[in-house]
Amino acid sequence: MKKVNFIALALLALPFLVSCTNDDDTDPEVVEELEAVLVEDLYAPNSNPGSDDGQEYDYVYYSFEKNMVVDSEDEDWAIAFKSTEIIVNGGVNGDGNVQGALLSGTVFEELEGLPDDMELSVDTEEMNAIPNDMQNGWWNYDRSTHFVTPKAAIVLVFQTNSGNSVKMEILSFFKGNPSAEEYELRDMYHYTFRYLLQPNGTKTF
């Protein structure tokens, strides 16, 4: 009789044990932390600095997903650089659907996502998505030294051809990202920037 009671109790306890086992086997969802990519000394002049040969350079085309410069506009690119100008692969400057915007008064690390009410745009005949003028753009110009430097608290945001969100900060326009005391005109037109890409199609970073 005692043996029968023991088996009955064991059978009653079985669902509880199975339930506990199933709960313990459920792994919590792991959220992968995104890491910013640093790009250094991307050279994108409009003409050859210090030269009178009149040579004009083409845009330098860049892919965020591939983290590389691509050979031409016929490939999959997101943005392109020439001097202080940044264009997107959308609108009048490309066949893609890349959109962008400039956020002023914004700290790169503190931007956790694109605001729902923020409007991204493509390049038009009237204005690029990223304005290329000192008043509205990402750069300052010193008339006495002719140095171009990035403004503080400026973040550029994009949506790529794949629908992924990107935030980007330009850190330097001089080769080697030197201190202000070491600026030389011949070293300009070298972009150092960092960006963070959200590959899952959401607007959060």
- Residues 78-125: pLDDT tens digits? 999 999 999 999 999 999 999 999 999 999 999 999 988 889 999 999
What distance in Å separates the CA atoms of residue 130 and residue 93, rounded to the nearest whole number?
A: 12
pLDDT beyond 90 at 14: no
**pLDDT interval class at 20 (50, 70, 90):** very low
Contacting residues for 204 by C-beta, under 8 A, at least 6 apart:
112, 113, 165, 198
User: Is the distance from CB of 53 to CB of 202 less than 8 angstroms?
Assistant: no
pLDDT beyond 60 at 12: no
Number of neighbours of residue 96 by Cβ within 10 angstroms:
18
What distance in Å separates the CA atoms of residue 188 and residue 41, rounded to the nearest whole number?
A: 10
What distance in Å separates the CA atoms of residue 60 and residue 190, rounded to the nearest whole number?
A: 11
Give the per-residue pLDDT at 24.
Answer: 53
Contacting residues for 119 by C-beta, under 8 A, at least 6 apart:
101
Give the per-residue pLDDT at 33.
Answer: 86
- Residues 40-71: pLDDT tens digits? 999 999 865 554 556 678 999 999 999 999 99
User: Is the distance from CB of 46 to CB of 83 less than 8 angstroms?
Assistant: yes
Helices (H), the chain: 2-25
pTM of the model: 0.82
* Nearest in space to 132 (alpha carbons), one of 46, 197, 29: 46
pLDDT beyond 80 at 17: no
